[in-house]
């Protein structure tokens, strides 16, 4: 369970619903399958019952999970314990804004049926665990170019 390779890198991104079903999971560090399931289970347990007034940050093993809930979905990022929590919280929001834009008023169902497209959007946003592009417009443009091919 070595998820502490380098700092300043996002370790993984999870989208889970309240029941703990994984809607999307992207790992930027190599983990065993069984370890991934454990991580998903633990993260869901950590965030699902937290009071909405509480901080959006939870310690997770030797790292920190920054999470945010949108409707019935939890978006969780695992980052280094000393990194800028608020910035990652806004990262999540930017990602949701991009999704909202792409799917026009995104809802959980869009992500359920189009999870492969969500992965593609994510690949334009974060690459190798680092923020690659922070312009919503640049990402939307790239995606619409890809969509044209469909």
Question: How far apart are CB 78 and another protein at their closest, in Å?
Answer: 14
Distance of CA 13 to the CA centre of its chain: 3
- One residue of 25, 43, 77, 78 binding another protein per CB under 8 A: 25
Q: Which is nearer to another protein, 48 or 108 (CB)?
A: 108
Question: Does 42 sit near another protein (CB under 8 A)?
Answer: no
Question: Does 2 sit near another protein (CB under 8 A)?
Answer: no
Which of 91-96's residues contact partners 24+ apart within 8 Å by CB, and which partners?
91/131, 92/66, 92/67, 92/68, 93/68, 94/125, 94/134, 94/136, 95/121, 95/122, 95/125, 96/68, 96/70
For helices 136-149 and 85-102, give the axis angle rounded to 10 degrees.
Answer: 40
Cβ neighbours for 54, distance < 8 A, ≥ 6 positions apart: none
Question: Does 96 sit near another protein (CB under 8 A)?
Answer: yes
Site string for another protein, 47-86 (x = CB under 8 A): ----x-xxxxxxx-xx-------xxxx------x-xxxxx
Question: Does 128 sit near another protein (CB under 8 A)?
Answer: yes
Question: Does 110 sit near another protein (CB under 8 A)?
Answer: yes
C-alpha separations of 15 from 42, 133, 145 in Å: 13, 20, 25
- One residue of 17, 35, 48, 63 binding another protein per CB under 8 A: 17
Question: How far apart are CB 76 and another protein at their closest, in Å?
Answer: 14
């Amino acid at each position: 369970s070595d998820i502490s390779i380098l700092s300043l890198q996002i370790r993984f991104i999870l989208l889970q619903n309240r029941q703990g079903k994984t809607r999307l999971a992207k790992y930027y560090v190599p983990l065993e399958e069984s370890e991934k399931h454990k991580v998903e289970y633990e993260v869901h347990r950590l965030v699902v019952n937290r009071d909405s007034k509480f901080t959006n940050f939870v310690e997770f093993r030797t790292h920190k999970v920054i999470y945010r809930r949108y409707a019935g979905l939890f978006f969780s990022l695992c980052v280094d314990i000393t990194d800028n929590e608020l910035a990652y919280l806004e990262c999540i929001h930017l990602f949701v804004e991009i999704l909202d834009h792409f799917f026009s008023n995104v809802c959980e169902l869009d992500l359920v049926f189009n999870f492969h497209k969500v992965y593609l959007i994510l690949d334009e946003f974060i690459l190798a665990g680092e923020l690659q592009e922070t312009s919503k417009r640049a990402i939307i443009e790239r995606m619409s170019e890809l969509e044209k091919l469909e």
